[in-house]
Amino acid sequence: MRDTAELEQTDAETEGEQPGLRVPFSARATALAPATRRRLTTLVIAKLALDLLFVAALAVYTHAVAFHPFFSGSLDHADGVSVRGWVVDRAQPERAVEVQLYVDGRFAADGVADQPRPDVSEKGYAPDEHHGFVFHLEPELYGEHQVRVYAVHSSRGGTRRTLQQIGQPLSVQWK
């Protein structure tokens, strides 16, 4: 009886009566057979691999749904008075795209890219020419500024909106 009590008091973290995590276990049960240990190791590695695949698939799905990578467009001109360009949703080229203007990293305006741009349809980006946008800046921007235009993609029935930059940012210097 005494031998059993001593075996159950064997400590995994600390020896003796000091504070610490105490996990009772049988000293005889600690030595697993090598075949059992290999099988357990293989199962743990397989589970980790499946977990990793699941998380990777979830990340790819979320990215594909949230970030719509099918916009083509260009920010053609920007000065202190206006900003012009075009954008097409390649997945739905007949649809007008919502766009947002940011000046120096701050939201400035929004609109819809539905202005005539014959060059867009001539180059084969869209079946029609109504994919241009023009933002008229009021008041005019004086000094040096950076202008960016983003296409808006709505997902989850319009509850989630993500932005994709159109073209390269333009620096504007207006006096």
> How high is the mean pLDDT of the chain?
83
- The DSSP 8-state label assigned to residue 42 in this structure reads H
Query: What does the alpha-carbon distance between residue 90 and residue 64 come to, in Å, rounded to a whole number?
Result: 15
The token duo for 144 is 């040096």
Query: What does the alpha-carbon distance between residue 85 and residue 111 come to, in Å, rounded to a whole number?
Result: 12
More confident site: 174 or 129: 129
Query: What does the alpha-carbon distance between residue 47 and residue 16 come to, in Å, rounded to a whole number?
Result: 36
Overall pTM > 0.75: no
Report the 3 state secondary structure along 119-143. HHHHCCCCCCCEEEEEEECCCCCCE
Confidence of residue 21 (pLDDT cuts 50, 70, 90): low
Mean pLDDT comparison of 19-33, 60-74, 92-106, 143-157, highest-scoring range: 92-106
Whether 29 has a pLDDT exceeding 60, the answer reads: no
Q: Are strands 97-103 and 106-113 parallel, antiparallel or unpaired?
A: antiparallel
pLDDT digits (tens, 9 = 90+) for 154-175: 777 777 788 888 889 998 887 7
Per-residue pLDDT at 12? 52
Contact 150, 162 (CB under 8 A): no
